[in-house]
């Protein structure tokens, strides 16, 4: 299997990914099978390799978080945190946790804000969660990030018109066109769209989970049958494919698209649409979610998106002008 650590640099020490399976190489150089699921593999790793309790530096704290906590999150979140953790480790790795004060964090923010004023907010959010876990582990007594003021952010306000959707759908493959139709009906995030399975169909509708909402509340969502939803899912069932898959949207091997793989496909077709002048401005897959939230009544939008607070829906997803009647 080889000893060079190439594609497994984000994994714990002596843990490797080989042909879809995770392994632990023990002190006798034996490869122990940890399974194919990253989450269960991490759990098995910690059963076999107990965590060190003598964490002293921020680098060790960051490493423990990235081994025990980050891999349990959604794939896209985990990949983002790998990059953010590298930056945090470079800045704070040699420090002791007690020396990371609000002043030190603001100095880091000032430096990063010169080139990445929005991105640094995510990095500080990750650092804050690391300290929360460190408090739970008994490594620190407080979280220095608690009262840190983040940089102001302007939400992305790209509203996709019906004509733009129609133009884009005219050039993409049928499966991607149906993906857009289904996302427009449900407002599901990309991660949840790519996780949809045919066994999610029930007598009452499409039963699925919203990854972020389910982790917070444990609730699933039932999209009740409508004529459009039934017709769209019916057409998806009839899509041609050499391999029968459990997933609504799958690659040639019948496996669901990865986030990176899907984004690459989307980008390539968007470039073609712009080159053919079908569109004058690009839009992202996630912009369709905001369009869905903007095109329905506010209460309906909040339910579709799984928001606990309507303020989140209004602040980040309602893009159309607010309609008001004149006084007279």
- Please report, for the chain, the start and end positions of each structural domain, with discontinuous segments joined by +: 1-50, 53-151, 162-316
53-151 fold: DNA polymerase; domain 1 (1.10.150)
Q: How far is C-alpha 79 from the geometric centre of its chain's CA atoms?
A: 9
Residue 9 pLDDT greater than 60, yes or no: no
With left for phi above 0 and alpha for psi between -120 and 50, is residue 254 left, alpha or beta?
left
Using N-to-C axis directions, what is the helix angle for 75-92 and 58-68, rounded to 10°? 170
* pLDDT band with cut points at 50, 70 and 90 for residue 1: very low
For residue 285, what pLDDT is reported? 95
H-only helix segments in the chain: 38-48, 58-68, 75-92, 102-113, 119-136, 162-169, 174-186, 190-194, 211-217, 227-237, 259-275, 286-295, 298-305, 310-316
Tell me which of 162 and 312 has the higher pLDDT.
162
Give residue 56's pLDDT.
Answer: 83
Q: What is the pLDDT, as a whole number, of residue 157? A: 82
- Mean pLDDT computed over every residue of the chain: 87
Q: Once rounded to an integer, what is the mean pLDDT over residues 265-271? A: 96
For residue 258, what pLDDT is reported? 87
Residue 107's pLDDT band, with cuts at 50, 70 and 90, is: very high
Is 313 in a helix, a strand, or coil? helix
Residue 215 has pLDDT above 70, yes or no: no
pLDDT at residue 55, rounded to an integer: 73
Decide which of 124 and 76 is more confident.
124
In the chain, the percentage of residues whose pLDDT exceeds 70 is 91
DSSP-based three-state secondary structure for 7: coil
Give the class (CATH, top level) of 162-316: mainly alpha
What are the pLDDT digits (tens) for 135-175?
998 889 999 999 999 998 877 788 999 999 999 999 999 99
pLDDT confidence band for 127 (50 / 70 / 90)? very high
- Report whether pLDDT(274) > 80: yes
Whole-number pLDDT of residue 52: 47
pLDDT band for 320, please (50, 70, 90 cuts).
confident
- Is pLDDT larger for residue 186 or for residue 156? 186
- Token look-up 């459990």 returns 246
Please check the confidence at residue 176 and state whether its pLDDT lies above 90. yes
pLDDT of residue 8: 55
From first CA to last CA, the distance across the chain in angstroms is: 78
What CA–CA distance (Å, rounded) separates 80 from 83? Answer: 6
How much is the pLDDT for 292? 92
Does pLDDT of 6 surpass 80?
no
pLDDT of 50: 58
Nearest residue to 178 (alpha-carbon basis) of 226, 223, 227, 229: 229
Instruction: Give the model's pLDDT for residue 206.
Output: 93
Task: Give the tens place of pLDDT for each residue, 11-66.
Answer: 667 788 888 888 888 777 888 888 887 767 776 776 777 554 467 899 999 999 99
pTM, full prediction:
0.64
What span, in angstroms and rounded, lies between the C-alpha atoms of 283 and 268? 12
Least reliable range by pLDDT among 73-77, 128-132, 177-181, 297-301: 73-77
Q: In the chain, pLDDT over 90 holds for what percent of residues?
A: 54
- Name the nearest CA neighbour of 285 among 35, 76, 33: 76
Q: What's the confidence (pLDDT) of residue 2? A: 45
């Amino acid at each position: 299997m080889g000893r060079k650590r190439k594609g497994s640099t984000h994994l714990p020490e002596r843990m490797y990914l080989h042909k879809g399976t995770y392994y632990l190489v023990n002190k006798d150089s034996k490869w122990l099978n940890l399974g194919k699921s990253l989450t269960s593999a991490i759990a098995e790793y910690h059963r076999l390799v107990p965590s060190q309790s003598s964490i002293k530096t921020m680098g060790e704290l960051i490493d423990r978080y990235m081994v025990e906590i980050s891999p349990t999150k959604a794939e896209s979140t985990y990949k983002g945190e790998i990059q953010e953790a590298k930056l945090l480790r470079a800045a704070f790795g040699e420090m002791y946790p007690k020396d990371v004060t609000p002043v030190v964090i603001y100095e880091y923010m000032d430096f990063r804000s010169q080139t990445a004023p929005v991105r640094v907010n995510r990095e500080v959010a990750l650092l804050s969660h690391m300290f929360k876990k460190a408090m739970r582990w008994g490594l620190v007594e407080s979280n220095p990030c608690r009262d840190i003021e983040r940089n102001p952010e302007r939400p992305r306000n790209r509203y996709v018109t019906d004509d733009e959707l129609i133009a884009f759908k005219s050039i993409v493959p049928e499966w991607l066109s149906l993906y857009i139709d289904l996302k427009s009906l449900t407002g599901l995030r990309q991660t949840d769209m790519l996780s949809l399975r045919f066994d999610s169909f029930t007598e009452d509708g499409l039963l699925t989970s919203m990854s972020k909402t389910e982790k917070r509340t444990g609730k699933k969502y039932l999209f009740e049958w409508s004529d459009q939803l039934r017709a769209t899912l019916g057409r998806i069932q009839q899509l041609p494919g050499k391999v029968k898959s459990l997933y609504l949207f799958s690659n040639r091997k019948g496996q669901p698209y990865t986030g990176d793989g899907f984004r690459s496909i989307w980008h390539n077709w968007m470039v073609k649409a712009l080159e053919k002048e079908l569109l004058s401005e690009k839009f992202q897959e996630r912009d369709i979610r905001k369009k869905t939230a903007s095109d329905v009544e506010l209460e309906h939008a909040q339910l579709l998106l799984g928001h606990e607070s309507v303020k989140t829906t209004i602040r980040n997803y309602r893009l159309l002008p607010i309609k008001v009647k004149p006084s007279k």
